[in-house]
Amino acid sequence: MTNRTTLLKTLRSCFTLGLSLLSATLVFLIWIHGHERLGFDRAPFMEMVNGSAPRPFVHRALIPSLVRLGAGLLSREGKGSVDTWIDRFVSARILRQEWSGGHELEHCLALALIFLSLLGFMAVLRWMAQGFYHPSPWIRELLPVAAVSILPVFFLAGTHFVYDFPALFFFTLLLALLWRQRWGWFYPLYAVALLNKETTLFLALLFALHFFSRMPRRRYFAHLLAMVGLFVLVKAGLTLAFAGNPGPLLENHLRENLFTLLTPFPLWRLLDVALVLLLLFQGFRKKPEFLRHGLFLVVPIFLLQLFFGVIGEIRVYYEVYPILFLLAVPSALAFLGMETPRLPGLSGSPEGQEAAYGPEGAEPRGR
């Protein structure tokens, strides 16, 4: 490798790293612009942190618990000094958005964890794009920038919570580990992610669908039982820990959602949906089978939203966003005339992909 080639690679890495940090920072600032309180009236941020928020919100306990643990490492005097310093230097506009006085450190710790989750999402998505498509170096580096730049679409409606970006990061990371069958990493992180949001269980559904004919029956049912069993244990623990909190375990919004669905949708929204469907299903059978199976998760997420969520809040689809994005990548690149991802499955059979790169869940052979 010549000195010129090394210099160009270094410059490319520095440029794409800077662009990634810039895009993540801008999206983070757009997110925080309208959500400085990190909660809403029925589940205030500090009630989440101290564990007194109503159910089901208090069950999303990971980030609030880490914030409480981090703030608790300081003495009362030390924390007071940090709160005073933050109060002096933080934007006055944020303070007007009802940050609780005396809890500035907790808010900053939560924001730091949220921002790190955004960066983690970009890093894992880059890894997944490389594993599925083996794109050119420039495309590989720019795909996470494109993915994070689309996220403000999720901010257009509804309430947004401290656990949303961590859910995006954890689900993306666990998707990658599930595909690679890195069970030693998968299960501890799966348990942690369940503490953040119970929809992590959808990974068990994807496992059941994708690995049914790819794994010996004993191993298959052992893994399936382990995933469901961990969910039951974590959910039971959270239910017992917050048994005295007010509120139902689930909120029924079916009637309001049915009225919303009966209301005519704007034309621009239908056009957006049509564009997404075009990008997803163009050449669908040639796209990675793991991602095609993952698309099925849209169905249970929609049903949960219909009964227990709010129609129109597309943030509930964060868990399937990496799947949707990666499925759309080949169609988008072909439409832009940039390149066709070097994946044998796009120009031949899925068996060709396995022959060239090894079975799904294994490291690519010969690379």
Buried/exposed 204-226: b ≥16 CB within 10 Å, e otherwise: bbbbbebbeeebeeeebeebbeb
Task: Report the candidate in 323, 114, 327, 54 with the shortest Cα–Cα distance to residue 202.
Answer: 323
Neighbours of 299 (CB within 10 A): 10
* Residue 303: strand, helix, or coil: helix
User: What would the two tokens of residue 98 be?
Assistant: 């009802």
> What pLDDT, on the 0 to 100 scale, is given for residue 11?
85
The domain limits of the chain are 17-34+119-357
> What pLDDT, on the 0 to 100 scale, is given for residue 235?
95
Contact criterion met (CB below 8 Å) for 144 and 123: yes
- Segments of the chain with pLDDT less than 70: 1, 34-37, 39, 91-100, 158, 339-367
> What pLDDT, on the 0 to 100 scale, is given for residue 366?
34
Tens-digit pLDDT profile for residues 105-164: 888 899 999 999 999 999 999 999 999 998 888 888 999 999 999 999 888 776 778 899
Contacts of 128 (CB under 8 A, 6+ apart): 172, 175, 176, 179, 322, 326
Helices (H) and strands (E) in the chain, counts: 18, 0
The crossing angle, in degrees rounded to 10, of helices 321-336 and 164-180 is: 80
d(CA 318, CA 329): 17
Question: What are phi and psi for residue 138, nearest 5 degrees?
Answer: -65, -45
User: What would the two tokens of residue 244 be?
Assistant: 């005295």
Question: What are phi and psi for residue 43, nearest 5 degrees?
Answer: -140, 70
Distance of CA 24 to the CA centre of its chain: 14
* Residue 252: strand, helix, or coil: coil
Tens-digit pLDDT profile for residues 212-226: 999 999 999 999 999
Task: Report the candidate in 238, 267, 322 with the shortest Cα–Cα distance to residue 55.
Answer: 238
> What pLDDT, on the 0 to 100 scale, is given for residue 196?
96
Contacts of 229 (CB under 8 A, 6+ apart): none
d(CA 128, CA 346): 16
40: β partners: 43
Contact criterion met (CB below 8 Å) for 43 and 36: no
Contacts of 192 (CB under 8 A, 6+ apart): 62, 170
d(CA 290, CA 284): 12
Neighbours of 70 (CB within 10 A): 16
Neighbours of 116 (CB within 10 A): 14
pTM value is 0.87
User: What would the two tokens of residue 59 be?
Assistant: 């069950």
54: left (phi over 0), alpha (psi -120 to 50) or beta: beta
User: What would the two tokens of residue 149 be?
Assistant: 């730049």
> What pLDDT, on the 0 to 100 scale, is given for residue 364?
38
> What pLDDT, on the 0 to 100 scale, is given for residue 157?
73
